[in-house]
Structure 1
Amino acid sequence: MSRPTDATRRNPATGERYAPHLEPRYREIATFLRAPLVERLDALDIALVGIPFDGGVSNRPGARLGPREMRNQSSLMRSIHHVTRQDPFAQASIADIGDVRFSSIYDLERVSDDIAAHYRALHQAGVIPLSAGGDHSVTYPILRGLAADAPVGLIHIDAHTDTWDAFQGSKFHHGGPFRLACEAGLIDPKRTVQIGIRGAQNTAQGWDYSDASGMRVVFMEEVEALGIEAVIAEARRIVGDGPVYLSFDIDSVDPAFAPGTGTPEVGGLTSLQALQLVRGFRGLPLVGADVVEVAPPFDPTGNTALLGATLMYELLCLLAERCAAQAEPK
């Protein structure tokens, strides 16, 4: 069982306890997956966190609005998984703790420091973060907060390797978080797999860096040739049994299903493949996860944010199951 929690709120009129995620979906404040909104960490197993920042994009902004719209769309989520029959809210203490706050939104290095400090506090409190970006530059400081003591493995699902060097004079951009993380010793490149990579580039620098450092790059053509189950098996082989972080860039999904992103690349995963891929990592010792690059201005239908929220639910199931397994008596 999870730790005791004060995250379950009380009805102010009756004093009775009630869970927001079981209320009618049009009620309550829009939080991630209808979890309670709390400020304290001492009762939590898993914290749902927003990072409304897109100052690291190289072209089209909009991902700063991703957390808010994913909160809105996650009001459509329910609790019990249709395949696993798992209820993450029954397995762990879960709450939305709001957004990371920034001391200087126009200073990229200070933004990185703010995010790192936020996640360092979560890590020290023993709370596992599930985050919604924001652009992909935010994953580097997340890892700074979670992996300062020892490198972790990485499952990175994306259209791009995000291992490029400095862009326009800055290293804090959404095309370089995993190069920075590798150089800082935050991830083990031999325990890193990048899935769904595709799209033409003006330089091979990112692909070459991933390859030279020892990362396993699974281009989309190989995903199609192998099939999702074989890709899952390969990824699990690479990351092994050690701690691992999972980062999901929504542009790994074909823009036919997820047009609301800053750098769309045709020929990607279907929505179903994306869900199956994430679900295939049950049982791994995840230290955290994120869904990034949802840019609502490029998708007036809201479907991209809905997919992002659904992926957050799938990831929450993985994290909650892990918490429950750790809490069981040996």
Structure 2
Amino acid sequence: MMLNVFKTLIFAVLFAVASSHEDHDEDQIPLGYIKYPYQASYRLKDTAMQFPVTADSIFSGITTFAKLPWVQCFGSGKDVSFDIAFLGAPFDTGTSYRPGARFGPAGIRAGSRRLTLYGGYNVPLAVNPFENLTIVDCGDIPVTPYDNAFAIKQIEEGHKTLLHRTPATKLGRDSVSGEELVTLAADGKEHPRVITLGGDHTIVLPLLRSIHSAYGAVSVIHFDSHLDTWKPSVFGGAPSAQAEINHGTYFYWASKEGLIKNGSSIASVFHGAIRTTLSGLADYENDDKSGFQRIEAREIDTIGTDGIIKKIRETVGDKPVYLSIDIDSIDPAFAPATGTPETGGWSTRELRAILRGLDGLKIISADIVEVAPAYDTNAELTTMAAADVLFEVLSVMAKTPLGKVANSSSAEEAFLHNLLSFRVVSLFLSVRETGLSVWPPIISVLFWLLALFRSTLYMSSRENPGMDDAPQPRSSIESRRSRMSRMTSNSFNMEQPEETPSVPAVPPSLPETKLDLSFSFDQIISDMKFDEADIDPKKKEQMEKRQSNVMRLTEENEKLNAELKAMSERLAAAERRTQAILAARERKAKQQLEQINSSEGGQHQQQASAHAF
């Protein structure tokens, strides 16, 4: 009896508490409140303060970038779709001077509090990036501070998890032509963008590894006061495999791993704001081998921001590009809180103007790194500068979708594309009809390479009608051998060497093509006259693997072309050095002859004087 009474009392108390809670529901901030403070307000009731309070005060709630919605992207929000996500990477154990960038994500978010205070409209770019896209803050990647190798893997996997989600907004039609847009990604899928808050610059290596899983090798725009392409033996001394990867060597490894496009006649990777000291000019030579073009920070005094923008756009073109910004590209007068400050940098205004000049480039993802709030001023100069820089990047992204017009290729390119697809499909059908269980990889690769070779020659002949008359690398090799033999003979002969023909300043050019071979397996089998359900899943998986191998062969072919071009350039340089040696020996021979003639003339004068006496 007493137990039942006790249960009844407990139930009554709980009911009263619940009823009281329901009465105050209208006093709480609704979860779906309107984003901008001037659009909605609520009033505090039952208190002495009866004035309205903004629904999204910059001082209330948790601090996210620009007060964006916080999504637990690695937990309860793992299925949430977005177009752009801000992601923190609190890692700084790869820095060489001042640590503290692990607190960068929190500092940048604090510096961004007021970005949407008045709505977020970017006047110079005429866009409000927060209006038509789904943009979220995913918080930080869990990164261990005890093991760099494991932390780098955590960053790669965390970024890849977000990159391979389906974006909230689908690609539509081109705003100019009205044609349907298709993805730029190498895997044929649409991907959202990720803006990463560093962290020291080491994080870019795992980020590029993640990007490569979707886009393959990409172009890079890199704003930094340092090269970050140093060999591990030069930067850090490489006492261990773990120490070889740090914030000064990550681009060296990215180039070695084939994560960035390099080695072409116009490099598609770019440094801006460089002003560091070097171990020697060999650092620049190594930077060249990594495929980078450079703009020194001081060049802004001669070519201005417009000249820098022009160089960047000419270098990158319309290729998918990754943007990496080191806060030390800004002069420490404007951004002192960084791990390796260098004086003589750009102002915040200049960097923001340059970033706005990238409007229209297809920036697939971006980062800002090396913000170490512990060294900042009380006015939060550095964290505010970092947030404002990302606001420009976000605005550029919002204006340019990650797509290209589906039928932008010319009639010749379309014909060659269809021819190549037809050959592969015909081979598949013939093998399928014979009942073979395995698609012979050697035959398929040979057919594919044959079509690729003929297509390349065809497009090259269309673009360069006089290509057959151009000098070939073979002639350069033979010329070099003949001149080396003459140089050897001249070293034992004081006679004047014969005149050698001049070496062309430009090495022989390789045929180029605009042929788009980035078709997917689904495109190849789209014209087949049978249901996809008839295909054995194992066979389809095997064919997909074959297609992946073929795409890798294409990348290897591009690398071989780049190496051949680099070899031609080295041969041309060797010929120029040979000419210089020959010219030096010729001058030396002339000097010796002049000395002999002058000494003989002196002897004749002495003999004449003796005869006179």
TM-score, scaled relative to structure 1: 0.90
Counterpart check, 1:315 vs 2:393? yes
Give the aligned partner of residue 90 of structure 1.
131
Q: 1:329 to 1:321 in 2, by over 3 A?
A: farther
Counterpart check, 1:231 vs 2:308? yes
Counterpart check, 1:242 vs 2:319? yes
Cα distance in 2 between the residues matched to 1:200 and 1:178: 18
Structure with the bigger RCO (C-alpha within 8 Å, sep 6+) is: 1
Q: 1:233 to 1:12 in 2, by over 3 A?
A: farther
Q: 1:326 to 1:33 in 2, by over 3 A?
A: farther
**CA apart distance, 1:209:** 1.5
Cα distance in 1 between the residues matched to 2:274 and 2:97: 19
Rg comparison, structure with higher value: 2
- Which of these residues, 156, 162, 165, is aligned with residue 122 of structure 1? 162
Asked whether the 8 Å contact 2:125–2:395 carries over to 1, the reply is: no
Asked whether the 8 Å contact 2:230–2:287 carries over to 1, the reply is: no
Counterpart residue type for residue 134 of structure 1: G
Counterpart check, 1:42 vs 2:86? no
- How many percent identity over aligned positions? 34
- Summarize the alignment of residues 98-247 of structure 1 with structure 2, pairs less than 5 Å apart: 98-102=139-143, 104-125=144-165, 126-148=191-213, 149-166=215-232, 167-169=236-238, 170-189=243-262, 190-247=267-324
**CA apart distance, 1:320:** 2.0
In structure 1, runs of 5+ residues without a counterpart are: 1-10
Q: How many residues align?
A: 318
Q: 1:15 to 1:76 in 2, by over 3 A?
A: closer
Counterpart check, 1:25 vs 2:58? yes
1:180-237: CA deviation from partner (whole Å, max 9, x where unpaired)? 1111111112200101100223344542211233311111122321111111111111
**CA apart distance, 1:122:** 1.8
Asked whether the 8 Å contact 1:44–1:94 carries over to 2, the reply is: yes
Give the aligned partner of residue 472 of structure 2.
none
- Which of these residues, 102, 108, 113, is aligned with residue 70 of structure 1? 108
Asked whether the 8 Å contact 2:252–2:290 carries over to 1, the reply is: no
Asked whether the 8 Å contact 1:25–1:75 carries over to 2, the reply is: yes
Secondary structure at 2:112's aligned position in 1? Answer: helix
**CA apart distance, 1:283:** 1.3
Counterpart residue type for residue 106 of structure 1: Y
Asked whether the 8 Å contact 1:147–1:186 carries over to 2, the reply is: yes
In structure 2, runs of 5+ residues without a counterpart are: 1-25, 38-55, 166-190, 408-613
Cα distance in 2 between the residues matched to 1:61 and 1:83: 35
Cα distance in 2 between the residues matched to 1:94 and 1:134: 21
Secondary structure at 1:289's aligned position in 2? Answer: strand
Secondary structure at 1:91's aligned position in 2? Answer: coil
Cα distance in 2 between the residues matched to 1:62 and 1:155: 25
TM-score, scaled relative to structure 2: 0.50
**CA apart distance, 1:327:** 11
Asked whether the 8 Å contact 1:137–1:174 carries over to 2, the reply is: yes
**CA apart distance, 1:89:** 1.1
Secondary structure at 1:155's aligned position in 2? Answer: strand
Specify which structure has the higher proportion of strand: 1
1:89-118: CA deviation from partner (whole Å, max 9, x where unpaired)? 11210000010112x422111111111111
Specify which structure has the higher proportion of helix: 2
